[in-house]
């Protein structure tokens, strides 16, 4: 688990003011005094959310099948496909090649075919809104099309394009988004993947960045071409479909534990959800006291609880202690009202085994030579499997400074296991300079 070399990142001058430890601590304290963790006070919806973490395999019937069922069932559900998060054909050099194209139109065709011909939707239609057709968000024809649907699929790409195409300049709903919201309130299902999930956030929607940069430099509200790995977010948020905490996607595969923890602390959120690839969080009764969040798919969903977190400094750099991490795998459920995990798997409490040596690249660095997806989850799983150990730690790939992640079996720690799937709750996490 030890690497021969690590990336050293040189110091740079501050280009914008990030939230320091004192400001972040005040934000977190204010959140703890508030009765809700919601981004905004959205009315409860009667529809369901299927929030996928990206890279959902075409064969993943647990995810796509759940969406079709929640939308009304095979041979019944008409689905609207929104791929406005994608590039437009005019910006896609492969637009004329069906095998390699990656744009709003060809991605729309792909999902229409997948949902209708593979998963049996009664109908699936592309909603013709993208950066080349923003005015369609006010078209009565498009609104009529939306009003005929019982399910809506938001594809991946860049969530800022969804902001640009479906929200007005004053952050209000376009007629098309207002129609989708009304259908959702009336019982329609909404599925997102990658950016299509992230856009479901309320306030403080993450828009980019890497974990090391977030821990080192903090969070910013604007993107700089000179610092593409900075942690950035949109304070106004996304579409506010999901209000139980912050959302992040491609989570463990890209080591985003550090970035969403820093963003939550900086912006005063006490809970964040990180959804893994080829996996979805199925949200029943979203926004209500009866909300239940259930995991389907091949990997897992992280829930980070910052209610007991302490923000400070260590060796002159930002640090956080006492973040409680739960990791749910297929079949497990989370209750936002009670902050609790339930699992149908057998309880797991091995009596033997110890952890190995220190882990490296715990934030699955984007540096091209590393190749360590799911590293933090793998480290946690090693600790869960080690019945005689209570603690394990690892360090970042980047240095200057090197950040450390410590995991401890804290108060209330529990685990479950079925086959190779391991779930746990209340694994205490500490992030600070090594």
What are the distances in angstroms from CA 151 to CA 81, 127, 186, 351?
9, 12, 11, 47
Would the CA dihedral through 327, 40, 181, 263 be positive or negative? Answer: negative
CA gyration radius, the chain: 21
Cα(48)–Cα(69) distance, integer angstroms: 10
- The enclosing H or E element of 412 equals strand 403-418
Q: Is the peptide bond before 401 cis (omega within 30 degrees of 0)?
A: yes
- Helix 140-147 to helix 175-185 angle, to the nearest 10 degrees? 10
SS3 for 206-254 is EEECCHHHHHHHCEECCCCCCCCCCEEEECCCCCCCCCCCEEECCCCCC
Sheet (strand 219-220) strand order: 205-208, 231-234, 219-220
Q: Identify whether the C-beta of residue 262 lies closer than 8 Å to the C-beta of residue 218.
A: yes
Neighbours of 287 (CB within 10 A): 23
Cα(242)–Cα(29) distance, integer angstroms: 22
- Residue 329: which of 304, 305, 297, 284 has the closest Cα? 297
143 φ, ψ (degrees, to nearest 5): -60, -40
DSSP code per residue over 67-123: HHHHTT-TTT-EEEEE-TTSPPGGG-TTTT-TTT--SHHHHHHHHHHIIIIIT--SE
Rama region for 330: left / alpha / beta (φ>0; ψ in -120 to 50; rest): beta
Cα(220)–Cα(101) distance, integer angstroms: 33
Q: Pull the structure tokens for residue 296.
A: 């389907």
Neighbours of 344 (CB within 10 A): 11
Give the active site residues.
194, 213, 250
Neighbours of 178 (CB within 10 A): 16
């Amino acid at each position: 688990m030890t690497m021969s070399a690590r990336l050293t990142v040189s110091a740079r001058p501050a280009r914008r003011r990030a939230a320091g430890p004192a400001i972040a601590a005040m934000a977190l304290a204010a959140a703890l005094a508030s009765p809700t963790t919601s981004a905004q006070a959205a009315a409860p919806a009667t529809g369901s959310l299927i929030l996928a973490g990206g890279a959902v395999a075409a064969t993943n019937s647990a995810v796509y099948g759940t969406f079709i069922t929640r939308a009304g069932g095979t041979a019944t559900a008409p689905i609207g496909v929104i791929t406005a998060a994608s590039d437009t054909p005019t910006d896609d050099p492969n637009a004329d090649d069906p095998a390699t194209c990656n744009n709003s139109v060809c991605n729309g065709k792909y999902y229409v075919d997948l949902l209708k011909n593979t998963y049996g939707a009664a109908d699936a239609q592309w909603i013709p809104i993208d950066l080349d057709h923003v005015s369609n968000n006010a078209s009565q024809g498009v609104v009529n099309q939306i009003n005929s649907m019982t399910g809506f699929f938001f594809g991946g790409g860049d969530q800022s394009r969804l902001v640009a195409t479906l929200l007005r300049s004053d952050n209000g709903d376009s007629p098309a988004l207002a129609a989708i919201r009304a259908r959702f309130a009336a019982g329609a299902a909404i599925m997102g993947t990658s950016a299509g999930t992230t856009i479901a956030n309320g306030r403080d929607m993450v828009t980019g960045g890497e974990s090391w940069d977030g821990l080192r430099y903090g969070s910013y509200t604007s993107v700089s071409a000179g610092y593409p790995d900075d942690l950035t977010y949109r304070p106004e948020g996304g579409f506010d479909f999901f209000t139980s905490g912050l959302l992040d996607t491609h989570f463990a595969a890209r080591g985003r534990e550090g970035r969403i923890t820093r963003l939550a602390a900086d912006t005063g959120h006490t809970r964040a959800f990180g959804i893994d690839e080829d996996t979805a969080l199925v949200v029943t009764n979203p926004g209500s006291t009866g909300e239940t969040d259930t995991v389907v798919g091949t990997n897992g969903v992280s829930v980070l609880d910052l209610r007991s977190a302490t923000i400070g400094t260590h060796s002159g750099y930002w640090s956080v202690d006492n973040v409680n991490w739960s990791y749910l795998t297929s079949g497990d459920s989370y209750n936002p009202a009670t902050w609790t995990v339930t699992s149908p798997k057998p309880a797991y409490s091995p009596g033997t085994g110890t952890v190995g040596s220190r882990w490296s690249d715990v934030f699955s660095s984007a540096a091209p030579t590393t190749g360590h997806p799911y590293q933090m989850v793998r480290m946690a799983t090693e600790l869960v499997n080690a019945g005689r150990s209570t603690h394990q730690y690892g360090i970042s790939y980047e240095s200057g400074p090197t950040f450390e992640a410590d995991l401890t079996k804290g108060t209330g720690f529990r685990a479950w296991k079925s086959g190779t799937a391991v779930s746990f709750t209340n694994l205490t996490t500490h992030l600070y300079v090594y």
